[in-house]
Structure formats: structure tokens, C-alpha cells
């Protein structure tokens, strides 16, 4: 073999080697690039800013006593309660309830009221304060959520919540909704339907209340002075449940 | 005074190995109970969305509190310079570490996601008293471990005072932190009180010393080592003071609550109308865990009897567990005060006293915590020089040797 021929072979070999290396490197990097793009994709949640504070106003005088449309809508939307037939092992006390209808009777006057109760999305949420890992957290727009990836299931947030708004998942669940993953051994509660709110829609409970023509629930931005909720609050006011705790809840009630 | 000679126990008898086997089987049963609870989920337990912390937490918090108290003897020796307690200081550190290990095992194995323990160890929300406690607990192992080392290795003895002082401060912080888990809960009527922190500190003194005394009496009896009255009487008198201290804090806590109208509901529940919780409070916590042990400790006859003091210590431990049950379970059983002055009903058990029926698995997991602690102590005294060869009066009392 002449030296020239050998050089040619070597060059060809080098070219092939480089091309193959590049292909391998490309294959190796590609998923990373894709994942990076996924990670940096502009999700709806990225639009969340502190210039908004989502809130809800519930008029107990309009809330119909026998009606549970808001509860059913939440259950359908998020796959808990009657909607999820896989939560069979848990007792009634163990089954999750993100929202419930509460009947209150004044001990003095006998006056009866009915209202939906769920996570009150406190500004200074006790559940967020006590969570050791930060899984219990508040979005910039005031919605209080549980990060299912780092919740260790210690249930301290459930001890701390004054509204009993949280549930612990006591068994493996099937039939989950994409928008509401429900992992065994973690804690969950009302998300104010972030998946709907981030797309510009009302939470499922509010929509159901409107559909039933009760109109007892208003959803909106508490920081926007021109929003329906702000105008109504300014005009007629709205109370917090356990206002003595000074939590500045995002959910307010009229007629309490 | 002569320097105490620390010597490991022989640990060759059949009884010793039987003890290890028995404790080991309880540990295994606890691990089994954990897998049973984690396999399908917590639905197999009596815990629910109303009573979120159950029997495992009663055991875990008791053991963690007792761990801090078991360090008393060492603290008295190193921090307050009482030489008579010095020979017992290494054992005191050992029991402290062992009890904390047992308590934490139960706490961790009851988590919804124990597989994520690494998350709890690496991500901290510093506003959470739970997160502080993780640091307190891990730091306790480190500091008390170093303290034990400075006592066991002769050329490090000069550092034992400063190590003991650090351990003393750390344990006070740890127990205050554990009490504050409840003290910081604004939502619940039974908690939300600054007294919880200091009360837990005094509870730790009492429970920890009772367990320490039981271990000491048993070990010296089983190994035929001399244990003089000087040490025994000192420890049991100290225990009496601590038991009285716990009763004082309980009285102060309830009197304060009884004065404020807003707490009348929860006080009536615990003290009068709470059924099982009221019975546990009066018969278990106050009479069995407080008054009877005090009588046994200070009565001129029973106060000298080691059997009677062992029974008193056992009653203090049982009464302490019951006190934890009343605090943790009773506190959750009482309904949340959502609408003061109004009756509340819902599909989510609002306004009703919540029920809790602990299951066998929860109990076995909790007992496993004790088994882990006792196994560690039994094993460690065989492999390391923790125990003084003699605690006879002339060996420990400075006046005998001077």
C-alpha cells in the first residue's frame, strides 16, 4: 500500500468517523434539546403574575339550600367523589371532598343558611406556612395549590387548615382527569380550576351555579377595580370565614 | 472520687439473645405493618380526613419527646456539674439517640410518601416548624453523638463539658420545636397556645427520665451489677419533681383556657363531655400517669422500693402516651370552629365529633418504635463501654471517696 493510498483511506476513515460521531452526538443531544424546549415552552401558567389576584364571592342568600350543582361540577371536572368510581376502599371519612355544601343554623335565632365551602385561597395560608417541603404553595395570582411532586404526605397542612379544605388520598386511584392528577399518599384540595382559569374560563363550580340560574358565585380578579367581583365587593362588601385569623382569604361571602 | 469504670456487658446469656430476638421481631412486625399500610394506601388505617394524625403519631411524638428527656442525666452531670450523675451520662446519651431513632422511624414510615424522604431532607420551607424540626432531629444525632464520643474516648474528655452544654441547648430547642408543632396551629381550638412548647419540655423531662430509670434498673438487675441507693434515690426524687412539673403545666394550660369563653367548648369536651377522651384524661393521664406515680415516689415505704418505683415509671410512660393521645387525637376529634355561635352540618363531617378507631397495624408500627430504641440500647451496651461497672454508693457518692 502506497503512503498516498493509505492517507486517502485514513481521511475517508476520519470523515466517516466524524460523520458517525456527529450523528451519535446529535442523537444523544436531541432528546435533551427537545426536553429543554418542552421545559421552556410558554405554558399557560407562565402568564401567572402578581398583578392579578383571583377570588370568589359567594352570596349565601342566593345559594339554594338543596342545590349541590357546584359540588357535582367540581367532582366531574376534577375526578373525585361520585365521578371517580375507583375510590372504593376508602371509608366516607377517608374519601376526598374538594368542595362541600355546609348548612349553618344560628343557635340564637334559628336562621338557616347554606353555602359552599372549599379552599379559601388565603393570602397568608397556614397550609403554605407549615409545609416542610414547600409542596403547599401559593401562585403569584393567589391560588393555593399542592405540588404533587414534592408532597411527602405528612398531612401537617391538613392539621393547619382552619377550613378543613384538604383531603389525603388514602388509596391508589384510577380514572383520573388529566387536569387533576391524584397521587396516592399526597394531599389535595380545590385548585380554583387553574387549568380553566389560565385559559380565561371560570372555575367549574361558578359556571355550574350560573347555569342553574342561581348566580350565587362570582369569580374574578380582586386586584382589578373594574371586575364584577371588585365592584360587587365595593358596593355590598363581603365577609371572610374565620376573619379573626387575619388570613385575607380569596373567597368571600355575603349574607353570613 | 474515682473515675467510673465503664465496661460493656457480657451479653452471652440466652436471656440476652432472647431479648434481642423479641425486640427484633417487633421491629420486623413494624416494618411489615408499614408495608401493609403503604401497599394499598392509608385506607387500611383508622386515620381519615378528619383525624389525619393517628396512633403512629402518638407513639412517634412520645418517643421524640422522651428522647430529649433521656438526656437529662447527662445534662445534669455536664452542664450543672453534679458529679454523682457523671457515670450515667454515656448511657443517657445512648438512650436519647435510641429513642429519637425509634420515634423518627415511626414518623417516617407513616408518611403518605416515605419514598420521598430525600425531598424532606433537601428542600426546606424555613417558615415551617416541621422543617426546623428536621434540622433539630438530625442535629441532635450529630451533637449527642459527638457528646457521647467525648465522654467515651479518654483524650477527648476535656471537650465533654462544652459538648454537653451544646447538647443541652439543642435538646431544649428540639422539644420546644416539637411542642410548637401543635402550639403554632392557629386553626384548632385544642392547640394554638404558647404553653405547648414549654409544656413539652417538662413532659420530656418526665417521660425521658422514667424510661431511663426503667432501662437502668432492668440492666443492672439483669447483669448483676451493683446499683446503690444513692443513685437510685436521687433519680427517683428527680422524677417526682418532673411529674409534678407536668401536672402543673397541665393545670395552667386548662385554667387559662377555662378563663376564655372562646375555649369553653373544647375544654368541656376534654374535661367533661368527651367520652373516651375525658376518661383517658382523668383516669389515664392525671390519676394513673400523675397522681399514683407521685404517691409511689414520695411515700416513705414505696419510695424505697425498686419494684414500686419501676411500676411508677411504667405508669408515667403509659400516662405520657395517654396524654399524647388526648392532645393529638382528642384535639382533632373536637370539630373545627368555623362559624362561632352556629350549628354546622355537611357531608364532610363538619360540626360533629370526629371518630377514630386505631387499627392493629398502626399500633404495631408504633410499638416498633419502642422496639427499635430498646434494641439499639441492648445492642450498644454489649459492643461499647456505656455502662459503669458499679454504681454502688461508694463508687458514685463523692462523700464516700473523699
Look at A170 and B349 and tell me if their CB atoms are within 8 Å.
no
**pLDDT score at B398:** 60
Question: Across chain B, what does the average pLDDT equal?
Answer: 94
Of A151, A160, A169, which has the smallest distance from its Cβ to B185's Cβ?
Answer: A160
Q: Where is average pLDDT lowest: A28-32, A235-239, B116-120, B222-226?
A: A28-32
Query: What DSSP assignment string belongs to A35-63?
Result: HHHHHHS--GGGG--TT--EEEEEETTTS
Question: Cβ contacts (< 8 Å) between A162 and chain B: which residues?
Answer: 186-187, 336, 338
Chain A contact present for B399, CB below 8 A: no
Whose grid coordinates read 458529679? B83
- The average pLDDT across B371-384 equals 97
C-alpha cell at A226: 373594574
- How far is residue A81's CA from residue A79's CA, in Å, rounded to a whole number? 7
Q: CB–CB of A210/A104 below 8 Å?
A: no
* CATH assignment at residue B328: 1.20.1630.10
Asked if residue B151 belongs to a domain, the reply is yes
Asked if residue B7 belongs to a domain, the reply is no
Q: Does B401 have pLDDT greater than 50? A: no
Question: Cβ contacts (< 8 Å) between A189 and chain B: which residues?
Answer: none
Query: If pLDDT is split at 50, 70 and 90, which confidence band does B396 have?
Result: confident
Question: Cβ contacts (< 8 Å) between A67 and chain B: which residues?
Answer: none
Of B51, B124, B342, which has the smallest distance from its Cβ to A106's Cβ?
Answer: B342
Q: CB–CB of B82/B356 below 8 Å?
A: no
Chain A contact present for B202, CB below 8 A: no
- The average pLDDT across B255-270 equals 94
Chain A contact present for B156, CB below 8 A: no
Asked if residue B8 belongs to a domain, the reply is no
Q: Does A2 have pLDDT greater than 60? A: no
- How far is residue B205's CA from residue B308's CA, in Å, rounded to a whole number? 20
**pLDDT score at A161:** 97
**pLDDT score at B11:** 87
Q: Does B220 have pLDDT greater than 50? A: yes
Asked if residue B1 belongs to a domain, the reply is no
- The average pLDDT across B174-185 equals 95
Interface of A with B in 146-205 (CB under 8 A): 150-156, 158-164, 166-172, 183-187
pTM for this prediction: 0.91
CA distance B348 to chain A (A): 7
Whose grid coordinates read 405554558? A43
Query: What 3-state class would DSSP assign to A20?
Result: helix
Q: A45-254 architecture in CATH?
A: 2-Layer Sandwich (3.30)
Of residues A200 and A46, more confidence is placed in A200
* Short-list B148, B202, B223, B63, CA closest to B384: B148
| Residue B181 to residues A88, A92, A116, A168, B56, Cα–Cα distance (Å) | 33, 28, 30, 19, 16
Question: Across chain A, what does the average pLDDT equal?
Answer: 90
Look at B113 and A171 and tell me if their CB atoms are within 8 Å.
no
Query: If pLDDT is split at 50, 70 and 90, which confidence band does A240 have?
Result: very high
**pLDDT score at B382:** 96
C-alpha cell at B196: 405547648
**pLDDT score at B209:** 98
Per-domain residue ranges of chain A:
3-41, 45-254
What's phi and psi for B300, nearest 5 deg? Answer: -55, -35
B-interface mutation test, from A82, A93, A119, most B Cβ less than 10 A away: A93
Q: Where is average pLDDT lowest: A9-13, B45-49, B197-201?
A: A9-13
Asked if residue B286 belongs to a domain, the reply is yes
**pLDDT score at B320:** 98
Chain A contact present for B341, CB below 8 A: yes
Q: Percentage of chain A surpassing pLDDT 90?
A: 78
Of B53, B124, B347, which has the smallest distance from its Cβ to A97's Cβ?
Answer: B347
Q: CB–CB of B280/B322 below 8 Å?
A: yes
Look at B354 and A93 and tell me if their CB atoms are within 8 Å.
yes
A-interface mutation test, from B110, B111, B112, B329, most A Cβ less than 10 A away: B112
- Taking only the tens place, the pLDDT of each residue in B100-115 is 999 999 999 999 999 9
Question: Cβ contacts (< 8 Å) between A132 and chain B: which residues?
Answer: 120, 124-125, 128, 130-131, 134
Of B42, B188, B346, which has the smallest distance from its Cβ to A102's Cβ?
Answer: B346
**pLDDT score at A28:** 66
**pLDDT score at A48:** 87
Look at A130 and B130 and tell me if their CB atoms are within 8 Å.
yes
Which structural domain range is residue B358 located in? Answer: 14-401
- The average pLDDT across B386-397 equals 85
**pLDDT score at A5:** 57
Longest dimension (CA), chain B: 74
* Short-list A181, A154, A159, CA closest to B104: A154
Q: Percentage of chain A surpassing pLDDT 70?
A: 83
What's phi and psi for B311, nearest 5 deg? Answer: -65, -45
Chain A contact present for B91, CB below 8 A: no
Number of domains in chain B: 1
**pLDDT score at A17:** 67
- Taking only the tens place, the pLDDT of each residue in A119-146 is 999 999 999 999 999 999 999 999 999 9
**ipTM of the complex in this document:** 0.93
Q: Does A44 have pLDDT greater than 90? A: no
Look at A162 and B186 and tell me if their CB atoms are within 8 Å.
yes
Look at A187 and B112 and tell me if their CB atoms are within 8 Å.
yes
- Taking only the tens place, the pLDDT of each residue in B286-330 is 999 999 999 999 999 999 999 999 999 999 999 999 999 999 999
Question: Cβ contacts (< 8 Å) between B50 and chain A: which residues?
Answer: 93, 164
**pLDDT score at B82:** 87
A-interface mutation test, from B346, B349, B350, B361, most A Cβ less than 10 A away: B346
Question: Cβ contacts (< 8 Å) between B39 and chain A: which residues?
Answer: none
Query: If pLDDT is split at 50, 70 and 90, which confidence band does B402 have?
Result: very low
**pLDDT score at A1:** 45
Look at A164 and B50 and tell me if their CB atoms are within 8 Å.
yes
Of A104, A107, A131, which has the smallest distance from its Cβ to B128's Cβ?
Answer: A131
| Residue B167 to residues B106, B139, B339, Cα–Cα distance (Å) | 23, 9, 45
C-alpha cell at A203: 372555575
Amino acid at each position: 500500500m502506497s503512503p498516498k493510498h493509505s492517507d486517502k483511506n485514513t481521511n475517508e476513515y476520519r470523515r466517516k468517523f466524524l460523520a458517525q460521531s456527529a450523528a451519535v452526538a446529535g442523537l444523544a443531544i436531541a432528546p435533551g434539546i427537545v426536553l429543554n424546549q418542552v421545559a421552556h415552552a410558554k405554558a399557560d401558567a407562565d402568564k401567572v403574575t402578581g398583578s392579578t389576584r383571583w377570588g370568589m364571592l359567594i352570596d349565601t342568600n342566593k345559594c339554594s339550600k338543596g342545590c349541590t350543582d357546584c359540588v357535582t361540577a367540581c367532582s366531574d371536572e376534577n375526578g373525585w367523589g361520585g365521578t371517580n368510581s375507583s375510590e372504593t376502599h376508602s371509608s366516607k371519612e377517608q374519601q376526598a371532598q374538594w368542595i362541600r355544601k355546609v348548612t349553618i343554623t344560628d343557635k340564637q335565632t334559628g336562621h338557616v343558611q347554606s353555602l359552599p365551602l372549599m379552599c379559601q385561597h388565603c393570602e397568608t395560608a397556614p397550609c403554605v406556612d407549615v409545609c416542610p417541603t414547600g409542596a403547599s404553595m401559593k401562585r403569584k395570582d393567589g391560588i393555593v395549590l399542592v405540588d404533587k411532586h414534592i408532597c411527602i404526605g405528612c398531612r401537617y397542612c391538613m392539621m393547619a387548615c382552619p377550613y378543613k379544605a384538604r383531603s389525603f388520598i388514602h388509596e391508589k386511584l384510577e380514572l383520573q382527569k388529566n387536569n387533576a392528577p391524584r397521587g396516592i399518599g399526597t394531599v389535595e384540595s380545590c385548585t380554583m380550576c387553574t387549568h380553566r382559569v389560565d385559559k380565561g374560563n371560570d372555575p367549574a363550580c361558578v359556571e355550574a351555579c350560573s347555569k342553574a340560574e342561581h348566580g350565587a358565585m362570582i369569580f374574578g380578579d380582586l386586584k382589578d377595580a373594574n371586575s364584577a367581583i371588585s365592584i360587587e365587593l365595593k358596593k355590598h362588601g363581603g365577609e371572610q370565614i374565620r376573619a379573626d385569623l387575619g388570613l385575607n382569604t380569596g373567597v368571600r361571602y355575603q349574607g353570613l | 472520687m474515682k473515675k467510673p469504670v465503664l465496661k460493656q456487658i457480657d451479653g452471652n446469656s440466652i436471656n440476652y439473645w432472647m431479648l434481642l430476638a423479641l425486640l427484633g421481631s417487633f421491629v420486623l412486625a413494624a416494618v411489615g405493618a408499614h408495608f401493609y399500610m403503604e401497599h394499598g394506601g392509608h385506607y387500611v388505617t383508622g386515620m381519615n380526613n378528619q383525624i389525619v394524625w393517628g396512633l403512629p403519631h402518638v407513639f412517634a411524638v412520645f418517643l421524640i419527646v422522651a428522647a430529649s428527656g433521656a438526656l437529662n442525666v447527662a445534662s445534669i452531670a455536664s452542664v450543672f456539674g453534679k458529679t454523682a450523675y457523671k457515670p450515667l451520662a454515656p448511657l443517657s446519651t445512648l438512650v436519647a439517640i435510641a429513642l429519637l431513632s425509634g420515634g423518627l422511624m415511626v414518623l417516617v414510615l407513616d408518611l403518605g410518601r416515605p419514598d420521598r424522604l430525600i425531598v424532606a431532607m433537601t428542600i426546606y420551607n424555613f417558615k415551617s416548624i416541621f422543617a426546623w424540626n428536621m434540622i433539630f432531629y438530625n442535629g441532635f444525632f450529630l451533637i449527642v453523638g459527638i457528646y457521647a464520643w467525648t465522654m467515651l474516648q479518654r483524650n477527648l474528655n476535656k471537650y465533654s463539658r462544652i459538648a454537653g452544654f451544646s447538647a443541652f441547648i439543642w435538646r431544649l430547642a428540639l422539644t420546644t420545636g416539637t411542642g410548637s408543632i401543635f402550639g403554632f396551629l392557629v386553626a384548632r381550638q385544642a392547640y394554638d397556645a404558647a404553653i405547648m412548647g414549654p409544656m413539652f419540655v417538662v413532659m420530656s423531662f418526665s417521660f425521658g427520665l422514667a424510661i431511663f430509670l426503667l432501662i437502668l434498673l432492668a440492666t443492672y438487675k439483669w447483669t448483676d451489677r451493683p446499683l446503690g441507693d444513692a443513685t437510685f434515690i436521687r433519680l427517683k426524687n428527680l422524677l417526682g419533681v418532673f411529674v409534678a412539673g407536668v401536672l402543673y403545666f397541665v393545670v395552667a394550660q386548662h385554667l387559662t383556657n377555662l378563663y376564655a369563653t372562646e375555649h369553653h367548648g373544647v375544654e368541656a369536651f376534654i374535661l367533661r363531655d368527651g367520652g373516651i377522651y375525658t376518661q383517658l384524661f382523668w383516669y389515664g393521664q392525671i390519676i394513673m400517669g400523675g397522681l399514683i406515680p407521685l404517691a409511689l415516689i414520695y411515700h416513705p415505704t414505696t419510695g424505697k422500693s425498686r419494684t414500686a418505683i419501676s411500676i411508677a415509671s411504667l405508669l408515667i410512660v403509659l400516662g405520657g402516651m395517654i396524654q399524647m393521645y388526648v392532645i393529638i387525637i382528642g384535639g382533632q376529634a373536637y370539630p373545627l370552629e368555623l362559624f362561632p355561635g352556629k350549628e354546622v352540618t355537611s357531608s364532610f363531617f363538619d360540626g360533629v365529633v370526629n371518630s377514630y378507631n386505631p387499627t392493629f397495624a398502626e399500633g404495631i408500627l408504633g410499638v416498633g418504635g419502642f422496639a427499635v430504641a430498646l434494641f439499639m440500647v441492648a445492642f450498644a451496651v454489649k459492643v461499647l463501654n456505656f455502662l459503669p461497672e458499679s454504681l454502688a454508693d461508694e463508687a458514685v457518692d463523692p462523700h464516700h471517696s473523699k
